Protein backbone atom coordinates (compact mmCIF):
# COMPACT_ATOMS: atom_id res chain seq x y z
CA UNK A 1 0.00 0.00 0.00
CA UNK A 2 1.37 3.40 -0.97
CA UNK A 3 2.08 5.57 2.07
CA UNK A 4 1.63 9.31 2.36
CA UNK A 5 4.94 11.01 3.12
CA UNK A 6 4.52 13.72 5.70
CA UNK A 7 7.18 16.37 6.26
CA UNK A 8 9.57 15.51 9.09
CA UNK A 9 10.40 19.11 9.90
CA UNK A 10 8.03 21.48 11.66
CA UNK A 11 5.98 23.59 9.27
CA UNK A 12 5.46 27.31 9.33
CA UNK A 13 1.94 28.54 8.75
CA UNK A 14 2.86 29.55 5.20
CA UNK A 15 4.26 26.07 4.49
CA UNK A 16 1.07 24.53 5.86
CA UNK A 17 -1.01 26.61 3.46
CA UNK A 18 1.07 25.38 0.53
CA UNK A 19 1.25 21.74 1.66
CA UNK A 20 0.22 18.86 -0.63
CA UNK A 21 0.42 15.15 0.15
CA UNK A 22 3.23 13.35 -1.66
CA UNK A 23 2.75 9.91 -3.25
CA UNK A 24 5.78 8.12 -4.72
CA UNK A 25 7.48 11.43 -5.32
CA UNK A 26 4.45 13.02 -6.98
CA UNK A 27 2.72 15.98 -5.38
CA UNK A 28 -1.02 15.31 -5.45
CA UNK A 29 -3.88 16.95 -3.64
CA UNK A 30 -5.96 14.49 -1.61
CA UNK A 31 -9.16 14.67 0.42
CA UNK A 32 -7.27 14.27 3.70
CA UNK A 33 -8.01 17.13 6.10
CA UNK A 34 -5.27 18.31 8.43
CA UNK A 35 -4.97 20.45 11.48
CA UNK A 36 -1.63 22.11 12.10
CA UNK A 37 -0.66 21.70 15.76
CA UNK A 38 2.54 23.38 16.91
CA UNK A 39 3.97 23.00 13.41
CA UNK A 40 3.00 19.33 13.02
CA UNK A 41 0.45 17.99 10.54
CA UNK A 42 -2.34 16.03 12.24
CA UNK A 43 -4.65 14.10 9.92
CA UNK A 44 -8.32 14.45 10.89
CA UNK A 45 -10.15 11.16 10.24
CA UNK A 46 -13.84 10.91 9.42
CA UNK A 47 -15.90 11.28 12.58
CA UNK A 48 -18.49 8.85 13.92
CA UNK A 49 -22.04 8.96 12.60
CA UNK A 50 -23.20 10.05 16.06
CA UNK A 51 -20.90 13.05 16.12
CA UNK A 52 -21.86 14.03 12.58
CA UNK A 53 -25.59 13.76 13.39
CA UNK A 54 -25.17 15.95 16.47
CA UNK A 55 -23.16 18.55 14.55
CA UNK A 56 -25.74 18.67 11.74
CA UNK A 57 -28.58 18.95 14.24
CA UNK A 58 -26.88 21.95 15.87
CA UNK A 59 -26.28 23.47 12.44
CA UNK A 60 -30.00 23.28 11.60
CA UNK A 61 -30.92 24.71 15.00
CA UNK A 62 -28.48 27.60 14.62
CA UNK A 63 -29.92 28.29 11.17
CA UNK A 64 -33.14 29.29 12.94
CA UNK A 65 -31.28 32.24 14.48
CA UNK A 66 -28.64 33.18 11.91
CA UNK A 67 -28.55 33.55 8.12
CA UNK A 68 -26.94 30.53 6.49
CA UNK A 69 -24.15 32.77 5.16
CA UNK A 70 -22.90 33.28 8.73
CA UNK A 71 -22.68 29.54 9.45
CA UNK A 72 -19.79 27.22 8.59
CA UNK A 73 -20.06 23.42 8.92
CA UNK A 74 -16.80 21.45 8.86
CA UNK A 75 -15.51 23.63 6.04
CA UNK A 76 -13.49 26.40 7.65
CA UNK A 77 -10.04 26.71 9.21
CA UNK A 78 -9.17 28.98 12.13
CA UNK A 79 -5.58 30.02 12.80
CA UNK A 80 -4.91 30.18 16.53
CA UNK A 81 -1.95 30.80 18.81
CA UNK A 82 0.25 27.91 19.89
CA UNK A 83 3.86 27.28 20.79
CA UNK A 84 4.35 27.13 17.02
CA UNK A 85 2.05 27.54 14.01
CA UNK A 86 -1.41 26.09 14.75
CA UNK A 87 -4.59 25.91 12.69
CA UNK A 88 -7.84 24.21 13.74
CA UNK A 89 -10.79 22.71 11.84
CA UNK A 90 -13.89 23.33 14.00
CA UNK A 91 -17.09 21.33 13.59
CA UNK A 92 -19.23 24.48 13.50
CA UNK A 93 -18.60 28.21 13.37
CA UNK A 94 -20.93 31.17 13.66
CA UNK A 95 -19.41 34.22 12.00
CA UNK A 96 -19.70 37.80 13.04
CA UNK A 97 -20.45 40.18 10.18
CA UNK A 98 -16.81 41.27 10.44
CA UNK A 99 -15.24 37.80 10.28
CA UNK A 100 -17.45 36.89 7.33
CA UNK A 101 -16.60 40.10 5.50
CA UNK A 102 -12.88 39.47 6.02
CA UNK A 103 -13.16 36.31 3.89
CA UNK A 104 -14.51 38.12 0.83
CA UNK A 105 -12.11 37.57 -2.06
CA UNK A 106 -10.12 34.92 -0.21
CA UNK A 107 -9.18 31.76 -2.12
CA UNK A 108 -9.32 29.64 1.05
CA UNK A 109 -12.00 29.44 3.76
CA UNK A 110 -9.53 30.38 6.47
CA UNK A 111 -9.73 32.87 9.33
CA UNK A 112 -6.18 34.03 9.96
CA UNK A 113 -4.99 35.70 13.16
CA UNK A 114 -5.06 39.13 11.54
CA UNK A 115 -8.81 38.77 10.81
CA UNK A 116 -11.66 39.44 13.26
CA UNK A 117 -12.59 36.31 15.24
CA UNK A 118 -15.92 34.51 14.73
CA UNK A 119 -18.61 34.78 17.39
CA UNK A 120 -18.90 31.09 18.21
CA UNK A 121 -17.00 27.83 17.69
CA UNK A 122 -18.55 24.41 18.39
CA UNK A 123 -16.60 21.17 18.82
CA UNK A 124 -18.27 17.76 19.25
CA UNK A 125 -15.93 15.65 21.38
CA UNK A 126 -14.72 12.36 19.88
CA UNK A 127 -14.06 9.35 22.14
CA UNK A 128 -10.56 8.85 23.50
CA UNK A 129 -8.32 10.54 26.05
CA UNK A 130 -6.30 12.41 23.43
CA UNK A 131 -9.41 13.85 21.76
CA UNK A 132 -10.90 14.91 25.09
CA UNK A 133 -7.69 16.64 26.10
CA UNK A 134 -7.56 18.40 22.73
CA UNK A 135 -11.11 19.78 22.99
CA UNK A 136 -11.29 20.50 26.72
CA UNK A 137 -7.76 21.77 27.26
CA UNK A 138 -5.83 22.85 24.20
CA UNK A 139 -8.60 24.22 22.00
CA UNK A 140 -10.18 25.94 24.99
CA UNK A 141 -6.94 27.85 25.58
CA UNK A 142 -6.40 28.56 21.89
CA UNK A 143 -9.91 29.83 21.20
CA UNK A 144 -9.83 32.03 24.31
CA UNK A 145 -6.53 33.56 23.20
CA UNK A 146 -8.11 34.17 19.79
CA UNK A 147 -10.87 36.22 21.47
CA UNK A 148 -13.77 34.05 20.28
CA UNK A 149 -16.86 35.09 22.25
CA UNK A 150 -18.10 31.56 22.97
CA UNK A 151 -16.73 28.05 22.62
CA UNK A 152 -19.18 25.14 23.00
CA UNK A 153 -17.81 21.71 23.95
CA UNK A 154 -20.51 19.17 23.08
CA UNK A 155 -19.75 15.85 24.79
CA UNK A 156 -21.77 12.79 23.65
CA UNK A 157 -20.13 10.53 26.26
CA UNK A 158 -20.96 12.71 29.28
CA UNK A 159 -24.17 13.97 27.62
CA UNK A 160 -23.29 17.55 28.50
CA UNK A 161 -22.59 20.85 26.80
CA UNK A 162 -19.96 23.17 28.26
CA UNK A 163 -20.38 26.81 27.28
CA UNK A 164 -17.12 28.73 27.58
CA UNK A 165 -17.78 32.48 27.59
CA UNK A 166 -14.99 34.96 26.93
CA UNK A 167 -14.62 37.33 29.89
CA UNK A 168 -11.68 39.72 30.16
CA UNK A 169 -9.27 37.59 28.17
CA UNK A 170 -10.22 34.13 29.39
CA UNK A 171 -13.13 31.69 29.38
CA UNK A 172 -15.61 31.17 32.19
CA UNK A 173 -17.39 27.82 31.92
CA UNK A 174 -20.97 26.72 32.53
CA UNK A 175 -21.98 23.06 32.17
CA UNK A 176 -25.49 22.08 31.05
CA UNK A 177 -27.02 18.60 31.27
CA UNK A 178 -30.34 16.78 31.00
CA UNK A 179 -33.39 19.03 30.82
CA UNK A 180 -31.40 22.26 31.20
CA UNK A 181 -31.71 24.87 28.47
CA UNK A 182 -28.41 26.09 27.07
CA UNK A 183 -27.71 29.69 28.12
CA UNK A 184 -25.76 31.50 25.41
CA UNK A 185 -24.98 35.18 24.92
CA UNK A 186 -24.36 34.59 21.21
CA UNK A 187 -27.76 32.88 20.85
CA UNK A 188 -29.78 34.60 23.60
CA UNK A 189 -33.15 33.27 22.38
CA UNK A 190 -31.92 29.65 22.31
CA UNK A 191 -34.65 27.34 23.62
CA UNK A 192 -33.04 23.98 23.00
CA UNK A 193 -32.85 21.49 25.87
CA UNK A 194 -29.56 19.61 26.21
CA UNK A 195 -31.03 16.10 26.07
CA UNK A 196 -32.65 16.97 22.71
CA UNK A 197 -29.17 17.45 21.24
CA UNK A 198 -28.02 13.96 22.16
CA UNK A 199 -31.34 12.26 21.45
CA UNK A 200 -30.93 12.96 17.73
CA UNK A 201 -28.17 10.34 17.46
CA UNK A 202 -30.60 7.63 18.64
CA UNK A 203 -33.33 8.39 16.11
Q: What is the mean pLDDT of the chain?
A: 87
Residue 73: the pLDDT is: 96
Residues 182 and 19: their CA atoms lie apart, in Å, by 39
Q: Residue 31: its pLDDT value, please? A: 64
Task: Provide the CATH number for the domain formed by 47-202 in this structure.
Answer: 3.90.1570.10
Q: State which residues of the chain have pLDDT below 50.
A: 1-5, 24-28
Please count the residues of the chain. Answer: 203
Task: Indicate the domain borders of the chain.
Answer: 47-202
Residue-wise pLDDT for 116-135, tens only, equals 999 999 999 988 777 888 89
Q: Which helix (H) or strand (E) holds 195?
A: helix 194-199
Report the b/e string of 66-88 with b at 16+ CB within 10 A. Answer: eeeebbbbbebbbbbebeebbbb
Paired with 36 in beta bridges are: 41, 87
Amino acid sequence: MTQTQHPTKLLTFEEFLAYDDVYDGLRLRTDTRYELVDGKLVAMPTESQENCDIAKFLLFELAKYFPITLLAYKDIEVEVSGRRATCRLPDLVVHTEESKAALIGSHRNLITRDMPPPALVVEVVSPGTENRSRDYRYKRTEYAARGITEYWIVDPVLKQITICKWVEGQYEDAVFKGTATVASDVVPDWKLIVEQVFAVANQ
